Structure 1
Amino acid sequence: MASPDDLTGPGADYPVVVGEPYRIGDTLYTPVDTLNYDEVGYVAAQSGARGYTAAHHTLPLPSYAEVTDLSTGRTVLVRVEERGPMNSNALVAMSPAALAQLGSQPGASIRVRRVTPPEDQRAMLRQGQAAPLRMDTPEALLVVLRRKLPASGSASLQPNYDTARANAPASAPARPDAANAPIARAPVPASSSPAPAPVSVRPAAGANPASRPLPPLAGASNTPVRTPAPAPAPVAVRAAPAATVANGRYVVQAAAFSDRSRADRVARVIGGDVTQSGRFYRVRTGPFANRSQAEASLAKVRAAGYGDARIFTND
């Protein structure tokens, strides 16, 4: 007989199960272990479910996700424990308690983003308790997300992720070959083992993110390797803007990782740079000369799936 610790302790999060493709009506769903899963769609109710949990068609079980109401920006953390919803193409089905915490009704437009929360918050969800509310999504980003909403079903916010392949009609091939496997089209390679978790950059309650100074960015060059031009004049013209940007005060930090290759991959996605700070690698964009430029970059970084991104100053 399983002990309470087996059901609510850290070991209850493992092994993570992806599962085989399955059908609901005319739709074939293919579970995928997508680390940066990020989609918009609509919510359904998961009647009879306990705690602050959710059912999802393709996310690994168990996993954790932030759910944001696109009308209010309110964001909650849930533990994905089941497949579903089984009676609709809604993006996610939430337990009554989770839906109440979100303050939403079935059919509300939402965003679902897979995250790796700290262990204390995982423990709360495993024990059926509510995790603390996440930071509200700003209205500027909500406007962008609402534009991505489809009339029904869901839409991915990851540029290289094909939702249609994960939720394919039943007439699609049941056994795709390796070249066309959905997992190969995901933005981050899938893995059945837990990947190194990004270090959360969410500030503590009451903290002012902009007041936490960071060292200046390393001056990594983004200039592609080219055959030297016959005349040196174009080189001089291209160097001037870089010097101006390097003097900017504001940077946007998307995330920090303990693994350099993972940081490099995220930097390529958002067009940022990687700098080392101790044993962590920070992924940032900028620097920017003023806060409005930084806020514009922040909105793009968050829309790319990094909702914990923050603006920092270099002084």
Structure 2
Amino acid sequence: MVEKRGPVSGLVMTAALALLLAGCSSSDKPDPFAGKGSPKYTKAGPLPKGGGRRHVGKPYQVAGRTYYPTARPKPVEVGMASWYGPKFHRRKTANGEWFDMNYLSAAHKTMPLPSYVRVTNLENGRMVVVRVNDRGPFVGTRIIDLSKAAAARLGYLRKGKAKVKVEYLGPAPLGDDRVLLARLNRMSHAPRQTLIAAVKGRSVPETRPVMVARNERRRSHGAVSEGARIQPASAPGAGGYYVQVASFADPANAEAARARFSRIAPVEIRPVDVTGMRFWRVRLGPFESRSDAEMVLPRVAQAGVADARILVASN
């Protein structure tokens, strides 16, 4: 189980310690994984959202390594992600909020707190927008530690780690951000600049046009041609309804999904470029009506994809 990782997890336990270490030298030899000094929320009921402070912080040391928080983080990072949950649930984060393992949040070593980032699992193409309100992880080359809920969204809860792309979107509000965070996740596949505009409060569409391939040439093994042209979908009913089940960075994984879902309905694999990266979207169909597509959703959920959605596409 992931929770047996002990000190390798993502470190709500260092919340108070991270601030303390800003003024410590390596000669103090603090134990960065002691798990002490982070208060726990003891009141009954759900955890309050927000309520922390804006925080960047001075350089600090953990396990002999110095980290340099910055108000201008890298726009994009690629590396390994881990997750943390029950052991740190309801404890204070580095900026004074309460860690809720069931909320879409994360820990990062140097980003300003709180911030929003989009995280893409490069192994399956899933995306999630999270609130960064803690410091960590401080193990190996991991670049971000997600809450249990966020790791579940990205599909690596059992595995424990995944290679991800992290895109900085901007500062998060200090108050309760549940409405905004839900909106950002409804449009999580939008271009990065669109999400940045939404974070800044600018008016942007909730969703972008569904992108599908036209007149693609299939290879003998069934994958879609890299040269297929991507076109926006037309009006509902023009080309049928589809159930999109997953996206993959590796076309071989898409082919494995084809074999898995072909027992339910015809499977199509189509390429799409998202924020400069190519993914392979697996979808079932076409179906003549939306009701026909909706009848397939329970079987897709039983196969392990609870967040499948219905799309309308052109011929």
* TM-score for the superposition, normalised by structure 2: 0.39
More helix by share: 1
* TM-score for the superposition, normalised by structure 1: 0.39
